[in-house]
């Protein structure tokens, strides 16, 4: 099948590469000519494991092409997918200018039947607006060309997007056109052979499904962070609580890890947009407002702990492990690291940071600063630092050489925003250890002797 995808960002590129990999002919259209030229040279502008290879393979096979020519795009594909950005407006609502511009582009050029699909995350009712824009463009041309409007939201996790697309847990298709349902089933048939995962519904229900799913996951995160705050004050260990909760099959373990709050391109934007969309129809989304408030407060949690420990951060040097909002991505949009960085600088501290893939992104955001050093390894960040902050739970941070760390730092002080380590073991090694919701943390204990220390180390490995 022939598919045109408007937008070569995260969703557009992953969708294009995966659809091409099963034999379809995909054309990506983007107004950014420099990005198109980079993609033609094989340079992928985002970090997603396996995406570079997938794009290179399908571009070499002639199944994946890139252009800035909208005429070629509209002419190419029976399926016209809209995968452009919907950034939040000042009031939190989704900015649909780019979506509606693509709709007008399609309507002003189409000559035959098309399936027009919104892949972008959009508010309820956007499909009707897109359809109206297409219809208005056709009317101005004085032509009658048939089309079906479809909402086909993506459910891709950054860092695992290719697996999510290739082996989806559901494919949501919202449309009022029976022909469109059959065509969408044919398009996704290579991904649903073991059993049918395609859920057909009306347009508005599909649009709300995407927002509802992200809002629920964001709610679980904020709920656990709220509990972690209570556990800390009550002397409980949120990690034990989490295991007790997650063992209930009605709850499960997904998205109940306490930490520094959610970030990235989806959850913050989508929760805000859903709150605004609800207000537009007279609904007060009280729970979602609380989810937002808890999340913003949680992003400040490590800084508050640092202030509690040091009193003043003026002249202090803080090592930071992790900059991306989650592992396996270089995305720093709405990342907790940004809140911490900016508060540390405002307090007069210097930061030495390391992230396996997001340091270029960090430099593009903040530029060159005397108080911001990007290091080539996690251990290098510790040189001359007064404390370590764990911000992103990259796998390489899970089992560090704690003895070597102690020798490198000015003092063994750690603020663990991801609860990676066993507090008992850290304390036994003489660390001041502050975590999220783990009871009486931050107390310093006398260092154990070598035999006891090796036993503590064995216990944490077993745990």
71 vs 299: CA distance, rounded Å: 45
Place of tokens 């508050």: 304
Contact 10, 28 (CB under 8 A): no
395 vs 419: CA distance, rounded Å: 13
Contact 436, 417 (CB under 8 A): yes
**DSSP assignment string, 104-156:** HHHHTT--S-EEEEE-S---TTHHHHHHHHHHHHHHHHT----EEEEE-----
Nearest to 173 by CA among 181, 161, 165: 181
Cα torsion 140, 145, 148, 153: sign: negative
> Quick check: helix, strand or coil at residue 458?
helix
Active site residues: 266
Pairing of β 413-416 and β 79-82: unpaired
**DSSP assignment string, 367-419:** -SBTTEEE-SSHHHHTTT-SEEEE-S--GGGSS--HHHHHHHSSS-EEEETT-
Nearest to 127 by CA among 117, 136, 135, 137: 117
């Amino acid at each position: 099948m022939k598919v045109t995808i408007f937008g070569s960002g995260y969703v557009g590129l992953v969708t294009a590469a995966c659809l091409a990999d099963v034999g379809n002919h995909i054309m990506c259209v983007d107004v950014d000519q420099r990005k198109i030229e980079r993609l033609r040279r094989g340079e992928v502008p985002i970090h997603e494991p396996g995406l570079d290879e997938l794009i290179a393979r399908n571009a070499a096979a002639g199944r994946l092409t890139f252009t800035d020519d909208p005429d070629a795009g509209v002419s190419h594909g029976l399926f016209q997918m809209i995968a452009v950005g919907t950034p939040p407006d000042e009031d939190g609502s989704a900015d649909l200018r780019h979506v509606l511009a693509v709709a007008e582009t399609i309507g002003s050029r189409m000559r035959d039947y098309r399936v027009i699909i919104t892949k972008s995350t959009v508010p309820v009712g956007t499909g009707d607006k897109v359809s109206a824009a297409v219809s208005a463009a056709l009317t101005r041309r004085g032509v009658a060309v048939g089309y079906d409007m479809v909402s086909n939201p993506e459910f891709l996790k950054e860092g695992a997007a290719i697996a999510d697309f290739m082996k989806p847990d559901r494919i949501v298709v919202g449309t009022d056109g029976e022909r469109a349902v059959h065509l969408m089933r044919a398009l996704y048939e290579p991904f649903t052979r073991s059993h049918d995962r395609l859920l057909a519904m009306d347009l508005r229900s599909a649009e709300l499904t995407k927002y509802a799913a992200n809002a629920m996951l964001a709610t679980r995160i904020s709920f656990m962070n709220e509990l972690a705050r209570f556990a800390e004050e009550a002397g409980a260990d949120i990690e034990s609580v989490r295991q007790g909760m997650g063992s209930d099959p009605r709850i499960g373990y997904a998205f109940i890890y306490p930490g520094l709050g959610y970030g990235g391109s989806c959850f913050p934007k989508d929760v805000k947009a859903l709150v605004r969309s609800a207000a537009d129809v007279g609904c007060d989304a009280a729970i979602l407002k609380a989810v937002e408030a808890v999340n913003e407060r949680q992003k400040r949690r490590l800084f508050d702990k640092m202030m509690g420990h040091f009193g003043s951060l003026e002249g202090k040097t803080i090592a930071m492990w992790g900059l991306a909002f989650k592992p396996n991505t270089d995305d720093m949009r709405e990342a907790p690291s940004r809140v911490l960085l900016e508060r540390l600088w405002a307090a007069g501290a210097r930061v030495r940071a390391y992230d396996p893939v997001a340091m270029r992104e960090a430099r593009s955001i903040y530029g060159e600063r005397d108080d911001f050093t990007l290091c080539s390894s996690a251990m290098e960040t510790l040189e001359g630092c007064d404390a370590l902050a764990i911000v992103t739970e990259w796998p390489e941070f899970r089992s560090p050489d704690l003895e070597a760390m102690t020798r490198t730092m000015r003092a063994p002080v750690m603020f663990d925003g991801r609860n990676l380590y066993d507090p008992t073991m850290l304390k036994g090694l003489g660390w001041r250890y502050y975590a999220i919701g783990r009871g009486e943390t931050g107390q310093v204990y006398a260092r154990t002797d070598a035999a006891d220390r090796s036993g503590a180390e064995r216990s944490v490995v077993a745990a």
